[in-house]
């Protein structure tokens, strides 16, 4: 089974890239982030035309997540409130960042973790609070499904080797100590980085800033991840980053990451 995570930075703008990539790289589930479209305008037909099912949870202009699958998914859940009571969730479902579905005996959770803007900002606090709720959410998901694949754009690089430079890492959004500690606490429920099962060295990235010719200079970050429960981690046979779509004309700033188990 192959599952891919890809922040496409607008599914409508990137539609040809995504469908052409899928036809060249068939996968069981493609998890999209930053679809940036309300559900009634999601380009579902483009995916059904090439033999895929589409499940989406979007909003106007910002955020939005979707699952694209070869076979129908079961028990598709949208938002934290699918498994956590409304009072605990509060306003953390207002932004559409969580969708999940089941294929076989595997639950795939697709996440678009808040960016956080700047250390100490309101959005930064929101990111940390969102991650704290995510821990509760994933704890419940793991109890129900021992085979859990949690993937998406985490907007966090856990190690300095996941970033092109190790300078001033503790002062930067996506690599500050509080973000890293909070994500590590989420993972402590029993999730491991599939990419690091196969690759130890640094210099592998999934996102390059549009500015300053970052892709050409390879000044990137690895912030898109597949975290697997132990039952699935043991089964994993590969985890790879496909940098090819980042070189296309008008690309997303992220590139697909695929795990196979």
Partner DNA sequence: ATGGCCTGTTACACAGGA
95: nearest Cα among 142, 70, 55, 129: 129
Residues 6+ apart with CB under 8 A from 106: 1, 145, 147, 148, 149, 232
Handedness of CA 86, 87, 88, 94 (dihedral sign): positive
- Least Å distance between CB 127 and DNA? 9
**How many binding residues for DNA (CB under 7 A)?**
31
Asked if residue 61 binds DNA (CB under 7 A), the reply is yes
The interface mask with DNA, positions 39-58, x = CB under 7 A, is --------------------
Rank residues 43 and 261 by Cβ distance to DNA and give the closer one: 43
The Cα–Cα gap between 32 and 5 comes to: 6
The Cα–Cα gap between 113 and 98 comes to: 9
The interface mask with DNA, positions 66-105, x = CB under 7 A, is ----------------------------------------
Structure tokens, 240: 């790879």
Task: Specify whether 153 is catalytic.
Answer: yes
Query: Residues 144 to 173: which contact DNA by CB under 7 A?
Result: 153, 155, 173
The interface mask with DNA, positions 220-249, x = CB under 7 A, is -x-x--------------------------
The CA–CA distances, whole Å, from 170 to 9, 136, 160, 222 equal 26, 26, 10, 16
254: nearest Cα among 11, 20, 3: 11
Name which position in 19, 25, 81, 115 contacts DNA (CB under 7 A): 115
- Residues at the interface with DNA (CB under 7 A): 7, 9-10, 12-13, 34, 36-37, 60-63, 114-115, 117-118, 123, 153, 155, 173-174, 207, 209-212, 221, 223, 250, 253-254
What are the catalytic residues?
Answer: 112, 153
């Amino acid at each position: 089974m192959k599952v891919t995570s890809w922040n496409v930075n607008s599914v409508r703008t990137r539609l040809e890239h995504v469908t052409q990539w899928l036809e060249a790289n068939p996968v069981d589930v493609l998890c999209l982030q930053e679809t940036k479209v309300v559900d009634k305008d999601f380009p579902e037909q483009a995916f059904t035309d090439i033999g895929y099912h589409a499940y989406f949870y979007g909003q106007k202009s910002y955020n939005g997540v979707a699952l694209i699958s070869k076979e129908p998914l079961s028990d598709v859940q949208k938002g934290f409130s699918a498994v956590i009571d409304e009072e605990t969730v509060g306003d953390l479902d207002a932004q559409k960042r969580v969708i999940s579905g089941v294929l076989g005996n595997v639950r795939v959770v697709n996440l678009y973790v808040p960016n956080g803007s700047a250390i100490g900002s309101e959005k930064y606090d929101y990111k940390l609070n969102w991650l704290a709720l995510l821990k509760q959410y994933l704890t419940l998901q793991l109890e129900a499904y021992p085979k859990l694949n949690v993937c998406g754009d985490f907007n966090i690089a856990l190690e300095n080797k996941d970033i092109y430079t190790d300078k001033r890492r503790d002062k930067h959004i996506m690599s500050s100590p509080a973000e890293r500690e909070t994500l590590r606490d989420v993972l402590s429920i029993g999730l491991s980085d599939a990419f690091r099962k196969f690759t130890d060295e640094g210099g592998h990235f999934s996102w390059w800033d549009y500015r300053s010719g970052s892709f050409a200079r390879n000044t990137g970050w690895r912030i898109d991840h597949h975290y697997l429960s132990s039952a699935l981690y043991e089964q994993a046979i590969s985890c790879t980053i496909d940098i090819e779509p980042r070189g296309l004309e008008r690309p997303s700033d992220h590139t697909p990451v695929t795990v196979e188990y």
